[in-house]
Amino acid sequence: MPQQPAPKPQPLITLLDDTLANQIAAGEVVERPASVVKELVENALDAGAQNITITVEEAGQRRIQVRDDGCGIGQNQLELALCRHATSKIKTTEDLFAITSLGFRGEALPSIASVSRFSMTSRSADAADAWQISTEGGNTPRIKPAAHPIGTTVTVDDLFFNTPARRKFLKAARTEAEHITDAVVRLAMAHPYVSFSLIADGNESLHFDAAQGDLLEGTLPRLADFMGRDFISNAITIDATRDALRIKGFVGLPTYNISTPRRQYLFVNNRPVKDRTLLAAFKHAYHDLLAHNRHPAGVLFLDIPPREVDVNVHPAKAEVRFKNSSDVFALIRGGVRRSLEAHSQTVSNTGTAQALRSFQMGRQPLSHVQIKAQLGRGKHVPMSDFTQTPSQGGWVSQPTIGGYGRPPSFDLADQPQAVSQGAATAEAAHASATHFSAHPLGAAVAQLHTTYIIAQTDDGMIMVDQHAAHERLVYERLKHQILQKKVEQQPLLIPDVVELAKADAALVAEYAEELQTFGLEVEQFGPAAIAVRATPALLGHMNSKTLLNDLVEDLRELKQGISLQTRLEETLSTMACHGSIRAGKRLTIDEMNALLRQMEQTPNSAQCNHGRPTYVKLSRNDIEKLFGRR
């Protein structure tokens, strides 16, 4: 018989001492120097400060100091402020579910004090003198008289000096410094009426004066710092309500899109949060305006009655939970979508600005660094400034032959197709110009490279990407026909048989009924092939093989959950892309004008289904600047 192992002796249970308990809490609350900055600035905001100065040394590892002119703390309360679960912000369970302050857990100060050399100097409004409390690693604090105006200064030195393991997890100083800046800007964005200053190693790296007037307006200067000027000139405002909920903010035009979701910022009752539901709702608003792998940018402020949101779900209060998240989802998705549709004829001006710069800068467009330096001068820099600084070798002093520096009309004359077409259509173009130039998208005058349409408008010119524009038209028309349940079909005389992987063929067959509503008739043809019997008439002749391969990708994602309606619309945009006028098709002036007129009638026609602009605009003003007439 094998011997039974001796039973394990029961280990003794003991109550942790306060310091250790605080250090454990610090593990969650104080992840890095930026978390300390965040907690201290939140305390200053909760104290009603008007001015907040943050000083850091060595990316916060040597020193973090936050000074405010808030209500201050009286001498007899100082020691309590450093105790765990000591807070002035809530008193009852009831309060916990209707939080209006940034803090409420009573954990930040004791946690921070337990992992640093900590001191807090404060004077409350009704006190004649200031007092200072200090502690090292959370040991018994000392209190002594000090000098300080009404308000509080908290100094945190040598963070993690007594928990070296945590220190090891810190990233390079530059990264930690970026986190600090990010934390300050996020809080500053949500509190535009408070002035902020961040001083890093003796240099003021951020400065925001207190804003006046409207909240959104007031946020703008901070927004420029946070999101970049490029974002501001490509963003539209949103302000929508649904019962007691309100969403306001700035969202990027669909044509201003990026490869990651990191430029999306959310505030719930002025608290910076990360929330997947809200972010998903935001992305959803762009669903058929952007390609799958592109992301919109935006800054959104949600106001919600405090009872409708639970902020006590995350130790650093970075996440929240909504009582009724579907209402919030609907408000964000709907509000953003409506704003986008109201601006559906607006294109990102980044393309125009880049085009202008290319024209103006000759063969040496400004480097990124130069542009940054220009923008860094503070006030908005008009385009003309870019050309007039002698050190940049502007186009005036550097005439170039060919390439970027050439006025567009030369390029036009040089194009063989434009020449041949030019003579034949000169009359038509002239007639068109007198006829249509009052229309928003103007009168077609020429086609370049059988790909771009040039149109003259009352106040400038427009260049249209014919494929992108047609793709959007086809898509919107097909969507309309589907809504009306009247999709015209074009039966194929001989079905197109496309071979696919077994699983893919089965997948397409499974969705045959849905695809039929789009006018696409497919049928399983043996285990590993699909026969296409009819296509939507609008799409004209399509390459069934590439279409089906793209559809399979869409349907796979459909399998993964997201709403049927949305995914099908994406499928639709895939189909529209296959059925559009390809670049390279020669168009007559009449056909071009027809396309322009249709674009004016079509929702969202400023971008194709993948978020690329369908046209760019040069105002007469811009053109005159190019030629030094202004």
Specify the residue, 108 or 235, whose C-beta has the smaller distance to ligand ADP.
108
Contacts of 510 (CB under 8 A, 6+ apart): none
Residue 71 interacts, among Mg ion, ligand ADP, none and using kind-specific CB cut-offs from 5 to 8 Å, with: ligand ADP
What the block records as the tokens of 469 is 């524009």
Q: Cα(211)–Cα(217) distance, rounded to whole angstroms?
A: 8
Q: With binding defined as CB under 6 A, does residue 89 bind ligand ADP? A: yes
Backbone angles phi, psi at 290, to 5 degrees: -135, 150
Q: Which residue has the tokens 């490279």?
A: 449
Q: Is residue 570 involved in binding ligand ADP (CB under 6 A)?
A: no
| Nearest-angstrom CA–CA distance, 332 and 336 | 6
Instruction: Choose which of 70, 103, 335, 519 interacts with Mg ion (CB under 5 A).
Output: 103
Could you tell me the smallest distance in angstroms from the CB atom of residue 474 to ligand ADP? Answer: 56
106 binds ligand ADP (CB under 6 A): yes
* For ligand ADP, the closer CB: 25 or 332: 25
Report if residue 110 touches Mg ion, rule: CB under 5 A: no
- Rounded CA separation 470/599 (Å): 8
- Joined tokens for residue 553: 């990708």
Window 508-547: residues binding ligand ADP (CB under 6 A): none
Q: Identify how many contiguous H helices and E strands the chain contains and give both numbers.
A: 23, 22
The verdict on 73 binding ligand ADP (CB under 6 A) reads yes
Instruction: List the strands of the sheet with 245-252, edge to edge.
Output: 235-242, 245-252, 298-303, 264-268, 271-273
Q: Residue 89: which of ligand ADP, Mg ion, none does it interact with, CB under 5 to 8 A by kind?
A: ligand ADP
Of 105-113, 214-222, 316-324, 492-500, which part binds Mg ion (CB under 5 A)?
105-113
Which of residues 49 and 462 has its CB atom nearest to ligand ADP in the complex? 49
Query: Judging by beta carbons within 10 Å of its beta carbon (0-12, 13-18, 19+), is residue 494 exposed, middle or buried?
Result: exposed
**109 vs 589 by CB, closer to ligand ADP:** 109
Are residues 319 and 275 in contact, defined by beta-carbon separation less than 8 angstroms? Answer: yes
> What part of residues 141-160 is at the interface with ligand ADP (CB under 6 A)?
152
Is 208:221 a contact under the CB 8 Å cutoff? yes
Least distance from ligand ADP to the Cβ atom of residue 218, Å: 23
Find the Cα–Cα–Cα–Cα dihedral 422, 425, 427, 432, rounded to 10°.
-110
For residue 258, the one-letter residue type is I
Comparing CA positions, the residue from 554, 547, 582, 568 lying closest to residue 468 is 582
Residue with smallest beta-carbon separation from ligand ADP: 103
Q: How far is the CB of 258 from Mg ion (least distance, A)?
A: 34
Residues 39 to 58: which contact Mg ion by CB under 5 A? 43
* Dihedral sign of CA atoms 457, 462, 467, 471 in order: negative
Q: Comparing C-alpha atoms, which of 333, 337, 343 is closest to residue 245?
A: 333
Minimum distance from CB of 59 to Mg ion (Å)?
22
Between residues 310 and 553, which has the closer beta carbon with respect to Mg ion? Answer: 310
Assess 103 for contact with ligand ADP (CB under 6 A).
yes
Pick the binder of ligand ADP from 19, 87, 348, 580 (CB under 6 A).
87
Give least dist CB 85 to ligand ADP, A: 9
Residue with tokens 């071009």, as numbered in its chain: 592
Q: Which residue is nearest to Mg ion (CB)?
A: 103
88 lies in the binding site for ligand ADP (CB under 6 A)? yes
Q: How far apart are CA 439 and CA 441, in angstroms?
A: 5
- For residue 449, what is the DSSP state? T
Q: How far is the CB of 108 from Mg ion (least distance, A)?
A: 4
* Number of residues near ligand ADP (by CB under 6 A): 22
Pull the structure tokens for residue 207: 């400065």
The smaller minimum CB distance to ligand ADP, of residues 47 and 336, is found at 47
Nearer to Mg ion, 39 or 504 (CB): 39
Angle, CA of 263, 266 and 272, to the nearest 5°: 110
300 closest CA partner among 247, 256, 262:
247
Instruction: Looking at 138-275, list the stretches that DSSP marks H as alpha helix, in order from N- to C-terminal side.
Output: 164-168, 173-190, 215-227, 229-233
Contact between 70 and ligand ADP per CB under 6 A: yes
According to the binding rule CB under 6 A, does residue 133 interact with ligand ADP?
no
For the beta carbon of residue 513, count every other beta carbon within 10 angstroms: 8
Please give the Cα distance from 316 to 319 (Å, whole number): 8
Among 47, 108, 547, 606, binds Mg ion (CB under 5 A): 108
Strand duo 529-536 + 521-524: pairing: antiparallel
From ligand ADP, Mg ion, none, which one binds at residue 104 (CB under 5 to 8 Å depending on kind)?
ligand ADP
Q: Return the one option of ligand ADP, Mg ion, none that residue 70 interacts with (CB less than 5 to 8 A, by type).
A: ligand ADP
179 binds ligand ADP (CB under 6 A): no
Could you tell me which stretch among 104-112, 183-191, 394-402, 570-578 binds Mg ion (CB under 5 A)? 104-112
Report the residue number, 141 or 252, with the smaller CB distance to Mg ion: 141
**Which member of 22, 43, 255, 573 binds ligand ADP (CB under 6 A)?**
43
Q: Are the beta carbons of 534 and 491 closer than 8 angstroms?
A: yes
Report the nearest approach of Mg ion to the CB of residue 147 (Å): 25
Q: For ligand ADP, which is the closer residue by CB, 22 or 432?
A: 22
Among 34, 44, 211, 626, binds ligand ADP (CB under 6 A): 44
Query: Least distance (Å) from ligand ADP to the CB of residue 114?
Result: 11
Q: Note the residues at the interface with Mg ion (CB under 5 A).
A: 43, 103, 108
